[in-house]
Amino acid sequence: MALAAALFVCPHCDFHHPVSGPDRVAQLADEGSWEPVGEQLRPADPLEFFDTRSYVERLAEAQSETGMSEAFLGGLCRMSGRPVALGVMDFRFLGGSMGSVVGERFVLLVAAAADASVPLVVVVSSGGARMQEGILSLMQMAKTVVVLDSLTVVRMPFVSVLTHPTTGGVLASFATLADVVVAEPGALLCFAGPRVIEQTTREKLPEGFGRSEANFANGQLDLVIHRRDLKERLGRVLSLLEGGVRCGVEPARQDQEVVSRGGNPLTQAFARVKKFALVPWGRLRGRDTEDTRES
Amino acid sequence: MPSFPGVGYEEEIRKIQESLEALREREPSDAAWKTVQLARHKDRPQTLDYIKHTFPDFLELHGDRLRGDDPAIVGGMATMDGGTVMVIGHQKGHDLRERQQRNFGMPRPEGYRKAQRLVRLAERFSMPVVTLVDTPGAFPGADAEEGGQAGAIATSLRAFAELTVPTIAVVIGEGGSGGALALALCDRVFMLENAIYSVITPEGCAAILWRDSAEAPQAADALCLTAIDLLRLGVVDSVIPEPRKGAHKSHRATAKVVARQIEAALRELQSIHPLQRQAERRQKFLQMGRFTAV
């Protein structure tokens, strides 16, 4: 209970313990504001996958152990009073792996954010694509990238929070495409895990390889934020981003203004060249010469 | 086996045969594993072989304009059907020397950033994009991680999603996970008969789920990674037949069939309005996945 009050951060060593989906929602969303999105979706078994046990069996076990129906939880809520679309991933559920339901819930959440014109915040934690749904899991990478365009259209910000661990297909799709990418301290964030790298290249990796701090030093992250500051800092990031949306000149209006000030600057430049050039403008354009003379 | 009346061997034999039959039924077919081996065959035609046969005027362009030129991804312009197309593909290499030089077809971030640069160039001059997919996966190395491997794949996916020119991907050998998909978010995705396309290598999957990479043949069967499986799952649009006994038996014949398929698809795609084409591509990938609802 004491650990929960400390947001699952060790009071002695500052270690950020993994946080379950529901706990993460409780930490970030204002009490009583949560309206789930895509909750009705349930995983199927398209490949009838069987390794040493069946996928159906593994799913049932994950569901009963976590009390969740899938590894992604999405909803509309308020964060310190500000309306947002919030998504959280739960590593306990089959390693937070992205199968069809995770992809579809993400898509529905993006659609809800665009529809309600609220920013999107996703707290990521995932081992990558879900092997048991085979190629369809890989396609969720494409799907989650494609849908992000609908946020660009309505100019709503997307902030991702990378937590321990985030690897593989999730990191290589929507998670790193956020407008602002932040991470919790000490999180392992990499495309291939350290064990795979050591096995493939036989190189010994340095201490702290692939952790948030190393990624930050390599320029892959905007901010590393301690969990106790996360809610407040996310609020600051969002209000600055939204301030840009409110104050900025609409791209379309920008063009109009240029036109009203006396036309496209490029056209003006061409007109000057035309006036002073020794060679008549039309001859430079070859076959258009006749037309130019007529005009 | 001789039988002696009264000893009852027949009964024993029948029982053994029955349990053998049962075992055989439970054992997965090794067809998928055979396909994996064909897809990885060292003599199988690779991107540069297709280019040699199909695009004689190919002009390779180099570099990501940031820090390097990745030999695991080859890209450049060529003429097809009277117009210029941008051709981009993974190149594994045939002999050991070329394989080492090309890092076995495993790209680093520089490779994915070169691809993005080239598709943007293609967009600017309305060139269709043709990609040839053949990689075990993105390179799992410390330098690749430090260079932002995950981010490079993600931005490549976005670059392909944003294109309005026609885009065609052909999985010619090994479609290895995100490292393959980064070049395959296309209007049409085709696959050669003996190519594979998978979320993880069978060895990697076996190491995690069976805790023994020697179970790779079983994993290959479970992963549904053959061309026919992918056609059934709606991930590829059609399967391109190979010469008898496989593409490695005749590079020229294989390249010819692939070229014909690309040309036909190009003509079909060019009849669609660019924005319509882009919208249809997005819609196609948005619909991928299988789930239920309560």
Domains along the sequence of chain A with CATH: 2-247 (3.90.226.10), 251-294 (no CATH)
Residue B191, beta-bridge partner list? B171, B239
Beta strand B291-293 with A41-43: parallel, antiparallel or unpaired?
antiparallel
Beta strand A223-224 with A189-190: parallel, antiparallel or unpaired?
unpaired
The mean per-residue pLDDT over the stretch B54-75 comes to: 97
CB contact under 8 A, B291 and A104: yes
Enumerate helices (H) and strands (E) in chain B, giving the number of each: 13, 9
Q: Hey, how many other C-beta atoms are within 10 angstroms of the C-beta on A258?
A: 12
Chain A interface disruption, residue of B112, B215, B288, B294, most A CBs within 10 A: B288
- Are B154 and B179 spatial neighbours (Cβ–Cβ below 8 Å)? no
CB contact under 8 A, B291 and A42: yes
- Are A116 and A76 spatial neighbours (Cβ–Cβ below 8 Å)? yes
d(CA B117, CA B30): 41
Predicted pLDDT at B5? 54
Q: Is B264 on the interface with A (CB under 8 A)?
A: no
Q: Looking at chain A, which residue has its C-alpha nearest residue B215?
A: A51
Predicted pLDDT at A263? 60
Local structure of A172: helix, strand or coil: coil
Phi-psi region of B224 (alpha: psi -120 to 50; beta: other; left: phi over 0): left
* pLDDT over 60 (residue B26): no
SS3 helix, strand, coil % of chain B, rounded to 5? 50, 15, 35
Number of domains in chain B: 1
Q: Band of the pLDDT at B173, cuts 50, 70, 90?
A: very high
**Does any domain span residue B281?**
yes
Fill in the amino acid letter for B117. R
**Does any domain span residue B225?**
yes
Q: Along the 295 residues of chain A, how does pLDDT read in single tens digits?
A: 678 889 999 988 999 999 999 999 999 999 999 999 999 999 999 999 999 899 999 999 999 999 999 999 999 999 999 999 999 999 999 999 999 999 999 999 999 999 999 999 999 999 999 999 999 999 999 999 999 999 988 889 999 999 999 999 999 999 999 999 999 999 999 999 898 898 888 888 999 999 999 999 999 999 999 999 999 999 999 999 988 876 655 655 555 555 555 566 666 666 666 655 554 444 545 444 444 444 4
* Residues of chain B found within 8 Å of residue A103, distances taken between Cβ atoms: 288-289
CATH number for the domain that contains residue B123: 3.90.226.10
* pLDDT over 90 (residue B130): yes
Closest Cα partner for A51 from B222, B224, B25? Answer: B222
**Does any domain span residue B242?**
yes
* pLDDT over 50 (residue B276): yes
DSSP A44-96: --TT--BSSSBHHHHHHHHHHHHS-SSSEEEEEEEETTEEEEEEEE-TTTGGG
Closest Cα partner for B274 from B88, B126, B83? Answer: B126
The structure tokens 């080859």 sit at: B74
| A–B CB contacts, 8 A cutoff, strictly below | 185
Q: Is A220 on the interface with B (CB under 8 A)?
A: yes
Q: Is B290 on the interface with A (CB under 8 A)?
A: yes
As given in the structure block, the two tokens for residue A291 are: 């037309």
Predicted pLDDT at A273? 61
Q: Looking at chain A, which residue has its C-alpha nearest residue B152?
A: A172
Closest Cα partner for B222 from A71, A102, A95, A53? Answer: A53
Q: Is A103 on the interface with B (CB under 8 A)?
A: yes
Residues 6+ apart with CB under 8 A from B64: B70, B110, B111, B113, B114, B117
Of A42, A134, A177, the CB nearest to B294: A42
Of B140, B153, B289, the CB nearest to A136: B289
- Are A23 and A8 spatial neighbours (Cβ–Cβ below 8 Å)? yes
The 10s digit of each residue's pLDDT in B234-275 is: 999 999 999 988 999 999 999 999 999 999 999 999 999 999
Q: Looking at chain B, which residue has its C-alpha nearest residue A138?
A: B199
* Residues of chain B found within 8 Å of residue A152, distances taken between Cβ atoms: none
Q: What is the ipTM of this complex?
A: 0.90
Instruction: Say how far residue A24 (Cα) sits from the centre of its chain.
Output: 17
Closest Cα partner for B144 from B93, B179, B183, B177? Answer: B179
Fill in the amino acid letter for B236. V
The alpha helices in A207-287, defined as continuous H runs, are 212-217, 227-247, 251-260, 265-276, 281-284
**Does any domain span residue B247?**
yes
Q: Is A36 on the interface with B (CB under 8 A)?
A: no
Terminal Cα-to-Cα distance of chain A (whole angstroms):
83
**Does any domain span residue B92?**
yes
* Residues of chain A found within 8 Å of residue B210, distances taken between Cβ atoms: 51-52
Predicted pLDDT at A195? 87
Predicted pLDDT at B22? 65
Local structure of B108: helix, strand or coil: coil
Instruction: Say how far residue A264 (Cα) sits from the centre of its chain.
Output: 36
d(CA B102, CA B121): 24
Predicted pLDDT at A293? 45
**Does any domain span residue B160?**
yes
Terminal Cα-to-Cα distance of chain B (whole angstroms):
59
**Does any domain span residue B9?**
no
Predicted pLDDT at A199? 85
**Which of the pair, A244 or B111, is modelled with greater confidence?**
B111
d(CA A66, CA A111): 27
* Residues of chain A found within 8 Å of residue B229, distances taken between Cβ atoms: 135
Q: Cα separations (Å) of B159 from B105, B123, B146? A: 21, 10, 21
* pLDDT over 90 (residue B137): yes
d(CA B211, CA B198): 19
- DSSP character for A43? E
Q: What is the pTM of this model?
A: 0.89
Q: Is B227 on the interface with A (CB under 8 A)?
A: no
Query: Any idea how long chain B is?
Result: 294
Structural domain of B127: 35-285
Q: Looking at chain A, which residue has its C-alpha nearest residue B285?
A: A143
CB contact under 8 A, A51 and B222: yes
Q: What is the mean pLDDT of chain B?
A: 93
- DSSP character for B218? H
Q: Is A201 on the interface with B (CB under 8 A)?
A: yes
**Does any domain span residue B22?**
no
